[in-house]
Structure 1
Amino acid sequence: MLIRIRQVLNPAELKEARALLGPQAPWRDGRGSAGGQAVQHKNNEQLAQDSPESMRLQALVLQALQRDAHFFSAVLPKRVLPPLFNRYGGASNFYGRHVDGAVMHARSGERVRSDVSCTLFLSDPADYDGGELVIDDTYGEQRVKLAAGDMVVYPGTSVHRVEPVTRGHRVASFFWVESLVRSDEQRRLLHDMDRHLMHLRGTVGETDVGVVGLTGTYHNLLRLWADT
């Protein structure tokens, strides 16, 4: 399930993030964090994880996620790995086809199963050429290039790549989520039901017998499938 979540960062947060990620930021060779297979296909830069800029940006993104109802509905987060930040452009401008590792390790030692991969776009798409995130989906290749502040979430099992950036720089945050519901198919069904319930609540109200019954069904399915 590939889902676009709009305006995760508000304009003030986006402005702060882009200022922290400017040319003077402590960018490092992104291959330092790649696994054995991915390191052969990875050619980008990554923000130093122990830098003050990274710590401030992690707090900013996590704060935004906590208030985003669409993110919670789509992902049902159990654990969120601290966000990382990367840059594509110049001689470090692409990431070839790869699959993310099944278990990711935070600097704190925490281990997170990568059920859901997330990319939060921070650059205006008019500021760079290329740089599409290309995801192999059940419906074929999906090419994703979103507005600054928007995010895409997709199954961590997906083969994906970042196309070469031929002008400017593409800056983004990326991270992984261990979901309360491990199955992508079950998460999709719950997300669909939740969206339809929100529509019904807006049209017939919270106390309608059908809304109450469907809400119960949603929570009973979540109770059945959730791993807390």
Structure 2
Amino acid sequence: MLIVIENLLDSSEVAAFRERLAAGQWVDGADTAGSRSVAVKQNLQLPHTDPVARELGNRILAKLGNHPEFVSASLAETIWPPVFNLYQDGGHYGTHSDAALMRLPDANLTIRSDLSATIFLSDPDSYDGGELLIEESFGAQAVKLNAGDMVLYPSGSLHQVTPVTRGQRICAITWMQSAIASGEARALLYDLDQSIRALSPTRAADDPDIDRLVHVYHNLVRRWAKP
């Protein structure tokens, strides 16, 4: 399931992020790549200890925690601190899949990566290339969104970032462990929740049909959630 969430950050927030990121101490992104990914990764990143990365990452986490569609789509129980990356001068990230288990030593935490997210911080017309290609069962999907938009996709999918041949592509990326490990179950719950949210404004607050749908939704969550 690939879901686009528009305007996670508004234009003023994006501008503030880019101004702060301009002062960041960017390092070679290969330093955080796995043993196989290092051969196909060419970009810059902010270290997770960088004060700018921590400040802006916390702002993104606050946004995600209060965004109804993100909560509905991910049912996230743990979110990895966002990582900021920059692609320029042919920078790219070849075909790869994200690690299934991700260790954050500072927090003594290991998460299972069920979902990945990319938050675009550069205007799409300010750079050439840089599409996020995500391979799904129905073919590869090219994603290049407006600044402030986010795409959510399965961490286990093969994906890549095509070379940036002009300008700079700056994004934040993060991963999350969902309370619902099954992607198929999450997709069904998301569709059900979206229907409940769409129907509720047209019905009375105590509408029994809506109450029954909510009852079904939560009992499915109970059935599919990990112990």
TM range, smaller chain: over 0.9
Match of 2:11 in 1: 11
Amino acid across the alignment from 1:224? R
| In 1: Cα distance, 2:76 partner to 2:142 partner | 25
| In 1: Cα distance, 2:204 partner to 2:82 partner | 37
Match of 1:79 in 2: 78
Contact 1:117 1:154 in 2 (8 A): yes
Contact 1:3 1:153 in 2 (8 A): yes
Match of 1:98 in 2: 96
Show the 5 A alignment for 1:61-80.
61-80=60-79
Show the 5 A alignment for 1:207-222.
207-222=206-221
SS in structure 2 at match of 1:105 = strand
| In 1: Cα distance, 2:79 partner to 2:131 partner | 24
Show the 5 A alignment for 1:100-119.
100-108=98-106, 109-119=108-118
| In 1: Cα distance, 2:204 partner to 2:174 partner | 36
Contact 1:44 1:88 in 2 (8 A): yes
Q: Deviations over 1:103-131 (max 9, x none)?
A: 11224231111000110111111110110
Show the 5 A alignment for 1:37-52.
37-52=36-51
| In 1: Cα distance, 2:154 partner to 2:131 partner | 17
The verdict on how the C-alpha distance between 1:107 and 1:88 changes in structure 2, with shifts beyond 3 A counting, is farther
Amino acid across the alignment from 2:6? R
| In 1: Cα distance, 2:218 partner to 2:124 partner | 39
C-alpha displacement at 1:9, in angstroms? 1.4
C-alpha displacement at 1:67, in angstroms? 1.4
Amino acid across the alignment from 2:201? G
SS in structure 2 at match of 1:157 = coil
| In 1: Cα distance, 2:145 partner to 2:127 partner | 12
What is the number of equivalent residue pairs in this alignment?
226
C-alpha displacement at 1:55, in angstroms? 1.1
Amino acid across the alignment from 2:49? D
Contact 1:13 1:60 in 2 (8 A): no
| In 2: Cα distance, 1:164 partner to 1:90 partner | 8
TM-score of the pair, normalised by structure 2 = 0.96
Match of 2:162 in 1: 163
Contact 1:82 1:106 in 2 (8 A): no
SS in structure 1 at match of 2:30 = helix
Match of 1:57 in 2: 56
Contact 1:116 1:177 in 2 (8 A): yes
| In 2: Cα distance, 1:187 partner to 1:56 partner | 30
Match of 1:2 in 2: 2
| In 1: Cα distance, 2:204 partner to 2:63 partner | 28
Which has the larger displacement, 44-53 or 29-38?
44-53
Contact 1:134 1:143 in 2 (8 A): yes
| In 1: Cα distance, 2:211 partner to 2:166 partner | 52
| In 1: Cα distance, 2:110 partner to 2:120 partner | 25
TM-score of the pair, normalised by structure 1 = 0.96
